[in-house]
Chains A and B, each alone.
Chain A
Amino acid sequence: LANLLFLPNAYLVLASGIVALLVSYYAFRYTRLIESGVLKFISFGFMLLGIGLISQSSVLILTSFNVAGIVERQIIFFEATLFYLVLQTIAYFAIALGYGRGAYGRQFAKDLKGDKAVVSSLFLPILLFSPFEQLRPRFFLSNPVFLFHELVSIILLGFIAFQGALIYSSSKNRLSLTVLLGFVLILIAHIGQFASSLLVSQNIFLVGNVIQFIGFLVLLVFLVWSGRIGTAGKV
């Protein structure tokens, strides 16, 4: 079943990446109108997420067609996954920083800004587990690097979802509820991917990707909705 769903799964990852880039584009577009550090963080975070997802999906698509013998050359697969994981972690960190700044004010970001150790610590496992040669045979399921990045992503997404819940509880705004729902689904997806890595289950991994896609679909609904509400003249 996992082999049968491999290619559709790659397309779902690609679609998720495109939605992430769309969110990034709109956040950037509005920073030209409204000078907002929060929007810049959100735009930057979703841009990294989009690039990571699209690069991962490209490799998955190439693999499913075995273009240029990519299946035999596992190093590309491994490095692409690693590239995606690093981008994903930095992306969620940027979004969490922006969201936290939105909820708690500028001081929150200032407190974290100087703490370069937080960001650099995210790359520590990669250095610890070098050289890559030792990791390649185990690929990414049950791989410590994958597990670490997934765990960091879960913590960051938990933080983001909590901020979203706080924002919704104070605003009772349907738009903030949509964003919250999107992030909660992406969080559930990452918990699924973490579990799939522990259990070495490709099926759970694929289910996680489907939930992630639904999460990004909800964010797409938010984009369309905010555009329509803006045009109609009522927020």
Chain B
Amino acid sequence: VEGLVQPEKSRSRLKIYFDILSTIEVEGNAKPTRILYKANLSYDRLTKYLEELVGKGLVQEFSATETRYYTISDKGKELLTEIRKAEAFLAGFGLSF
């Protein structure tokens, strides 16, 4: 059936940021393995994106009992809200990011 199977689109950087940030927001203090699983990313890509998010002040990193945790910052929460608003606006015009 033509058109039943859609070609897979690569996720944009913003969509990946959104998936990581929303996972961390839901988890509170999120382990990298949990983010990796929820955001569907390879370990190398996750490390790269987490470094970027920490560098931009959207996510905070801390260690406890030899495990790294990530928590969302206020700036990260603001960005997440803005992306969700944009997503809702785009949905009105049949678009997605």
Does chain B have a CB within 8 A of A201?
A: no
Give the total of B residues in contact with A, Cβ under 8 Å. 18
Q: Are A175 and B91 in contact (CB under 8 A)?
A: yes
B89 neighbours in A (Cβ, 8 Å): 26-27, 30, 175, 223, 226, 230
B:34-91 near A, CB below 8 Å: 81-91
Partner of A33 from the list B82, B88, B91, B92 (CB cut-off 8 Å) is B82
Q: Is B1 an interface residue (CB 8 A)?
A: no
Give the tally of cross-chain contacts (CB within 8 A).
Answer: 83
Chain B residue contacts of A222, Cβ below 8 A = 92
Are B94 and A176 in contact, CB atoms less than 8 angstroms apart?
Answer: yes
Interface 0/1 of A222-234, CB less than 8 Å to B? 1101110111010
Q: Is B4 an interface residue (CB 8 A)?
A: no
Contact A167 B93 (CB under 8 A): yes
Check B94 against A235 for contact (C-beta < 8 Å).
no
Any chain A CB within 8 A of the CB of B95? Answer: yes
- Given the interface pairs A229-B88, A231-B85, the reply to whether A34 lies near B93 with Cβ below 8 Å is no
Residues facing B in A164-181 (CB within 8 A) are: 164, 166-168, 170-171, 173, 175-176, 178-179
Cβ of B14 under 8 Å from chain A:
yes
Q: How far is the CA of A168 from the CA of B94 in the complex (A)?
A: 7
Q: How far apart are B92's CB and chain A's nearest CB, in angstroms?
A: 4
Task: Tell me, in angstroms, the Cα distance from A30 to B84 when the chains sit together.
Answer: 11
Bound CA span A235–B14, Å = 17
Partner of A173, one of B83, B85, B91: B91
In the complex, the answer to whether A33 meets B14 with C-beta atoms within 8 Å is: yes
CB pair B93–A179 under 8 Å, yes or no, is yes
Least CB separation from A163: chain B residue: B94
7 A-B pairs with the lowest CB-CB distances in the bound complex, closest first: A230-B85, A167-B94, A226-B88, A230-B84, A175-B92, A30-B86, A179-B92
Which B positions have Cβ atoms within 8 angstroms of A? 12, 14, 81-95, 97
In the assembled complex, 16 residue pairs joining A and B whose CB atoms fall closer than 8 Å, in A order, are A33-B86, A36-B97, A39-B93, A102-B94, A102-B95, A166-B94, A168-B94, A173-B94, A222-B92, A225-B88, A226-B85, A227-B88, A231-B81, A231-B84, A231-B85, A233-B84
Given A230-B81, A230-B84, A233-B84, 11 other A-B contacts at CB below 8 A? Answer: A26-B89, A33-B82, A33-B83, A34-B86, A36-B95, A38-B93, A167-B93, A173-B91, A226-B85, A229-B84, A235-B84
